[in-house]
Amino acid sequence: MKDDNFFSPEIIIKAYSLGIFPMAKSHTSNSVSFYEPSIRGIIPLNPPHIPRKLLKMVRKSIFEITINYDFRYIIDGCSRITKNRKDTWINKKIKSNYLILHKMGFAHSIEVWENEKIVGGLYGLSLGSAFFGESMFSEKSNASKVALTHLIYILKNANFTLLDAQFPNEHLKQFGLIEIKKREFKELLSKALMIKKKFPQEVYKFHEN
């Protein structure tokens, strides 16, 4: 489904509540399309599945983590064209609307810092006890993986019930991603929307075992 003439934060929220999400065909596109995959990727929260080496690195606190400190920088980073990324699905319409959703308290970012500079992160949207992961980026090796690890534990400790990864891919399978059919996803989403949870503003602190 394509929306050329109207695209608003309210439409986006409604779409997510129905299991649909927006994407542009390219960063230069003037339109936005809505997608509802027949197979959905979700990441388990309880128990979480984190690669052992990555969890060990996170516990060493090599990077500093913040929540909602600089949403604009994160969505800019996710949409940035690089040597290895020739295009993205984040166009001007998506960016401007998610900035509004952030101000409304629905869209959130996790920033990964090194030497007082953001080197990676991710953003997504929360409704009820569901979090919809949108995009992530790294300027430093493993920075986006660290952001996702923190997101998983932040959601787990806040008793969120669903982490939607949208499209399955090999990169996310190391975090235990499972593939489910659209009907099953909608059932999980319906239950998650009935449970009201607030996205945390404090970073979950990892401790050495």
Confidence of residue 207 (pLDDT cuts 50, 70, 90): low
**CB-based contacts of 60, cutoff 8 Å, min separation 6:** none
User: Which is more confident, 191 or 2?
Assistant: 191
Confidence of residue 190 (pLDDT cuts 50, 70, 90): very high
- pLDDT tens per residue, range 117-141: 999 999 999 999 999 999 999 999 8
Radius of gyration of the chain (CA): 16
pLDDT at 60 over 80: yes
Considering the chain, what percentage of its residues have pLDDT values greater than 70? 95
Q: What are phi and psi of 133, to 5 degrees?
A: -70, 130
Preceding amide of 51 cis, omega within 30: no
Confidence of residue 31 (pLDDT cuts 50, 70, 90): confident
Q: Which value, to the nearest 10 degrees, does the dihedral of the CA atoms of residues 188, 147, 75, 4 take?
A: -20
User: Rounded to whole angstroms, how far apart are CA atoms 44 and 163?
Assistant: 7
**CB-based contacts of 49, cutoff 8 Å, min separation 6:** 43, 174, 175, 176
- pLDDT tens per residue, range 1-17: 544 457 899 999 999 99
> Do residues 161 and 195 make contact, with C-beta atoms less than 8 angstroms apart?
yes
- pLDDT tens per residue, range 79-89: 987 777 777 88
In this prediction, residue 4 carries a pLDDT of 47
> Taking residues 69-95, what's their average pLDDT?
89
User: Which is more confident, 57 or 126?
Assistant: 126
Helical pair 9-17 and 92-103, crossing angle rounded to 10 deg = 80
In this prediction, residue 177 carries a pLDDT of 95
Per the prediction, the chain carries an average pLDDT of 91
Q: What are phi and psi of 156, to 5 degrees?
A: -60, -45
> Taking residues 53-57, what's their average pLDDT?
88
User: Rounded to whole angstroms, how far apart are CA atoms 170 and 89?
Assistant: 19
User: Which is more confident, 158 or 209?
Assistant: 158
